[in-house]
DNA sequence: CACCGCCTGTCAGCGTATTGTCAGGGAGGA
DNA sequence: TCCTCCCTGACAATACGCTGACAGGCGGTG
């Protein structure tokens, strides 16, 4: 899961980035609305954390532009403590959620999980596919009840596929969502992680559709 | 739109009900968790406004039961002002949103609009032509209910024709759209793919218009 | 500061599915 | 009938995906 943080205060931005990375996400930071808009158009993110008070281009405007362009990217906005009017505007402009500053990192993570979950059309924070369970809160993964310990990337890969359960995910998309913007990777990197992940899982949860991509079946069944 | 309000304090419940009705919704009120659970099972609501502090059966429990039963009903929870821990639990239990008491009616309405909007926007893009169905999310193709497995190019060819359903597509255009700009192919390559595709489909879905191109009829019928 | 161990990206080799080309045949239109 | 255009089977080249091995990097530990 790759998140775009839009926050002009470097200190806060860095805190959020660290928090998100601890939470198992990949995050890019931009400091103004203009760049945010550009970045969101050009790169692919799974969600955006958006501060409303921004230089150059106001956060609400960024959000409205996104929605006007039919981009359904989940957006979590950050507002001042007593700005309920601001929050109502934000929600009507298409925000999926808000958080008032200052906030607990833990709450930001919970709300992020929630909007990501919703975007995937899921109701529960525990993602399931057949014998496989992935708890997004604790990041525990178990198969047939047995806990398996995954590395950061293995987890991200699996979580991403589960979020898009029932859909075929092309390898290029995985490349986009598993790594932040700073890095270039060979497509083979995905295959390597996948091999190791499959070995750990020990059950055929992840299907390959040659020429199309990878897939975790909606009910966990293998065709 | 019909909303279920779960709130044990009659005064607040009445306020919310009034507010929702002013906002154009229909609302029912129940005062305890047990009834809420029963009511949500028996009647059909478009969303639920759920107070967490409830007699008989706690709000969180109601929510978890709903989610355990795979009910995706949008739920907005009401929490105390400083209960961020409670909110995190609520969100992880599957709440779509929360609001801290006391709140502005206007904000409740905005958040309700938001979760209803979200719940509505989940349609699967499936292309159809007669007995043929192509699901762009899973890349599953089925004809008369029977799944057929297509290679990357067969899929692209079929998808392209379906996108332009009812129109005659010249082979040169297919050449342009199936391959990237760098490569030169014999026009025969298209014919070869088409032959294999037709054999897999087993039904005359793709017509040839000699001298013009290929066509998938708008209703899937063959003239 | 040095060491160690784990994580992870790259490379190369392998097996297999996919796909372009070729050549021959069939059908439609003039 | 003749000339195109299109279809199709066979085959070879290619691309794709999987895996084992290796090495650099990073963080933790003594």
CB pairs under 8 A between A and B: 71
* Paired strand residues for B29: B5
Joined tokens for residue A176: 């986009």
Joined tokens for residue A146: 């047995």
Percentage of residues of chain B with pLDDT beyond 70: 92
pLDDT at B221: 55
Q: Read off the pLDDT band of B181 (50, 70, 90).
A: low
If you average pLDDT over each of A165-174, B22-31, B177-186, which comes out highest? A165-174
Percentage of residues of chain B with pLDDT beyond 90: 35
Q: Is pLDDT of B142 > 80?
A: yes
Strands of A146-148's sheet, edge to edge?
A126-129, A132-135, A140-143, A146-148
Higher pLDDT, A36 or B183: A36
Which of strand D's nucleotides are less than 7 A from any protein C-beta? 5-10, 16-21
CB contact under 8 A, B94 and A210: no
Higher pLDDT, B24 or B169: B169
Q: Where are the alpha helices (DSSP H) in chain A?
A: 10-22, 33-42, 59-68, 84-92, 105-119, 152-163, 171-178, 188-201
Q: Is the CB of A175 under 7 A from strand C?
A: no
d(CA B57, CA B35): 9
CB contact under 8 A, B114 and A125: no
Q: Which residues of A touch B121 (CB under 8 A)?
A: 72
Q: Is pLDDT of B184 > 60?
A: yes
d(CA B63, CA B83): 17
What chain B holds in terms of domains, given with CATH numbers, is 2-120 (3.40.50.2300), 126-216 (1.10.10.10)
**CA atom of B162 to C1′ atom of C25, Å:** 30
Joined tokens for residue B130: 């007669």
The pTM (predicted TM-score) of the whole model is 0.80
d(CA B75, CA B202): 47
Among the partner-chain residues B94, B107, B110, the one whose CB lies closest to the CB of A124 is: B94
Which of strand C's nucleotides are less than 7 A from any protein C-beta? 6-12, 17-23, 28-29
- pLDDT (mean) for B182-211: 89
What is the overall mean pLDDT for chain B? 86
Q: For residues B69 and B63, is the Cβ–Cβ distance under 8 A? A: no
pLDDT at B130: 87
d(CA B84, CA A160): 27
d(CA A14, CA A9): 9
Joined tokens for residue B189: 């390559």
Among the partner-chain residues A84, A95, A110, the one whose CB lies closest to the CB of B88 is: A110
Q: Read off the pLDDT band of B132 (50, 70, 90).
A: very high
pLDDT at A179: 93
Joined tokens for residue B214: 């290929």
Q: For residues A77 and A57, is the Cβ–Cβ distance under 8 A? A: no
For residue A137, the surrounding DSSP H or E stretch is none
Of the listed ranges A87-96, B4-13, B168-177, the least confidently predicted one is A87-96
- Taking the CB of residue A163, how many other CB atoms lie within 10 A of it? 22
Q: In which residue are the tokens 């079929």 written?
A: B158
Q: Which residues of B touch A104 (CB under 8 A)?
A: 84
Q: Is the CB of B67 under 7 A from strand D?
A: no
| Coil vs helix vs strand at A3 | strand
| DSSP class of A53 | S
Strands of B47-51's sheet, edge to edge?
B26-30, B2-6, B47-51, B75-79, B97-100
B140-143 and B132-135: which strand pairing? antiparallel
Q: Where are the alpha helices (DSSP H) in B23-104?
A: 33-42, 59-68, 84-92
- pLDDT (mean) for B211-222: 78
Residues of chain A with pLDDT under 70: 81, 83, 220-223
pLDDT at B104: 84
Q: Write the CA distances from B116 to A110, A185, B34, integer angstroms.
A: 20, 40, 24
| Coil vs helix vs strand at B70 | coil
| DSSP class of B147 | E
């Amino acid at each position: 899961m790759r998140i775009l943080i839009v926050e002009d205060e470097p200190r806060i931005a860095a805190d959020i980035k660290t928090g998100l990375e601890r939470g198992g996400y990949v995050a890019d930071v931009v400091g103004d609305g203009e760049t945010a808009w550009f970045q969101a158009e050009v790169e692919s993110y799974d969600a955006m954390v958006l501060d409303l008070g921004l230089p150059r281009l106001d956060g609400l405007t960024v959000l409205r532009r996104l929605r006007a362009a039919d981009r359904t990217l989940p957006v979590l906005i950050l507002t001042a403590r007593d700005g309920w009017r601001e929050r109502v505007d934000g929600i009507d402009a298409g925000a999926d959620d808000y958080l008032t500053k200052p906030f607990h990192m833990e709450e930001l993570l919970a709300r992020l999980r929630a909007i990501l979950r919703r975007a995937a059309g899921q109701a529960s924070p525990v993602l399931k596919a057949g014998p496989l369970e992935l708890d997004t809160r604790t990041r525990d993964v178990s198969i047939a009840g047995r806990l398996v310990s995954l590395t950061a990337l293995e987890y991200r890969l699996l979580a991403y596929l589960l979020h898009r359960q029932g859909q075929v995910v092309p390898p290029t998309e995985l490349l986009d969502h598993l790594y932040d913007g700073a890095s270039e990777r060979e497509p083979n990197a995905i295959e390597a992680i996948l091999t190791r992940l499959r070995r750990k899982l020990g059950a055929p949860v992840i299907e390959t559709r040659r020429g199309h991509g990878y897939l975790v079946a909606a009910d966990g069944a293998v065709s």
